[in-house]
């Protein structure tokens, strides 16, 4: 945080600090409740995966347990 901003925040009245805190909490909650923000590359990848699935509906995917095992083994 920039020093000037921190200095300005310190000099707010208690009521202003409370109002700012409530506004920040409301903003954080609104961000958390909204849809995730995807990059264009992520959108493209998801669309390609969906198209592949629709073209190959009988193709077996992976279970959550298999995916978790793969991700955990990749960490090691």
pLDDT tens for 59-70 read 998 999 999 999
Answer whether 0.85 is exceeded by the pTM.
no
User: Which residues are within 8 A (CB) of 9 and not within 5 positions of it... i.e. 6 or more apart?
Assistant: 17, 20
pLDDT tens for 13-36 read 999 999 999 999 998 888 777 777
C-beta atoms surrounding 70 within 10 Å: 10
Q: How far apart are CA 46 and CA 24, in angstroms?
A: 32
Q: What SS3 string covers 44-64?
A: HHHHHHHHHHHHCCCCCCCCH
Q: How far apart are CA 37 and CA 39, in angstroms?
A: 7
Domain ranges of the chain: 3-57
């Amino acid at each position: 945080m920039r020093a000037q901003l921190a200095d300005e925040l310190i000099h707010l009245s208690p009521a202003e600090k409370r109002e700012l805190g409530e506004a920040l909490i409301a903003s954080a909650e609104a961000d958390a409740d909204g849809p995730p923000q995807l990059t264009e590359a992520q959108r493209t990848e998801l669309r390609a995966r969906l198209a592949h699935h629709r073209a190959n509906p009988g193709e077996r995917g992976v279970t959550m347990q298999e995916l978790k095992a793969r991700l955990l083994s990749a960490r090691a």
